Amino acid sequence: MKVYLITGQQNVQVMFRKIDAVSSDKFGLLIMANLWGATKEDLVKFANDKSGRLQVVPEPSFDANGMQSNLKSQEQRRYWAGFHQVLRDYLARPNETDKLAESYQRLFTERLDRFAVGEWATISVVSFMRTHMAECAIISLVGPRILELNPGFCQLLWDFDEISLSLVWGLPRWMNRQAWEKRDRYRAACARYLEAAWAGFDPAGAEADSDWEPNFGSRFARELAKWMRESNFSVETSAGIVAITAIAG
């Protein structure tokens, strides 16, 4: 695999635009394969999607529903665009990030209240961030179920954090076995969360369009789960998307 070093702000920006000469899709597919642990069938969906992922309006050969006019099949869905639309609509917009920030602030304030006012306590700053702060952020994003179902979940997250970069470049499992095992344990915990969230969620209930509810957590996590289900992604791929895109991100 040839590797090129690109320097300069304008040159780097070009790498993330829609141009024929270069594409960042290959790196995206590496992340999907090695970090998400996406199945080959789901990787093909992204690899074959040539509809254009950076614009809301599809290419001329695609209809308003994101399907090719002459090939209206599941394989022709706009997977790249659908993924980025969820990120844009429910994570990148200021009003959505404000809701996440408010939820986190409330949870973190409650966590700080556990420490008695006027009493000294000696804590490890790193440990405090990796447990109390991380748990509040996780609950804000995906709700409390994932911590209840997976005791020690934060440790799984930080174990994964240590080896994530080594996975991107795709060393085979037999050369990097410990890293793959850490990824798989972390992803399995996220799969348990997804299964429990769908089991407890009522699509027709009062909380179906709420900003936060206890099964999926934030609306971003819920809309991401809906998109994955509508795209017919496997359990393995869906767990990887939650593990990397939502929680680790």
pLDDT digits over 57-112, tens only?
555 555 555 554 444 454 457 898 899 999 999 999 999 999 999 999 999 999 99
What is the chain's percent helix, strand, coil content, to nearest 5? 60, 5, 35
Is residue 8 in a domain? no
Please determine, for residue 12, whether its predicted confidence score (pLDDT) is greater than 90.
no
Domain limits at 171?
24-36+94-248
Q: Please count the other Cβ atoms lying within 10 Å of the Cβ belonging to residue 228.
A: 22
Is residue 110 in a domain? yes
Q: Please count the other Cβ atoms lying within 10 Å of the Cβ belonging to residue 67.
A: 19
Q: Which of 21-35, 77-91, 150-164 has the lowest mean pLDDT?
A: 21-35
Between 63 and 137, residue with greater pLDDT: 137
Q: How many domains does the chain have?
A: 1
Which pTM value belongs to this model? Answer: 0.83
Question: Residue 213 belongs to what H/E stretch?
Answer: strand 212-213
Is residue 19 in a domain? no
Query: Within the chain, how many helices (H) and strands (E) appear?
Result: 12, 2
Do 46 and 52 touch, CB atoms closer than 8 A? no
Is residue 9 in a domain? no
Q: Quick one: pLDDT at residue 57?
A: 55
Do 235 and 191 touch, CB atoms closer than 8 A? yes
Is residue 13 in a domain? no
Q: Give the integer Cα–Cα distance in Å for 223 and 151.
A: 26
Q: Quick one: pLDDT at residue 75?
A: 47
56 — pLDDT class (breaks 50, 70, 90): low
Is residue 115 in a domain? yes
Is residue 4 in a domain? no
Q: Quick one: pLDDT at residue 72?
A: 46
Is residue 185 in a domain? yes
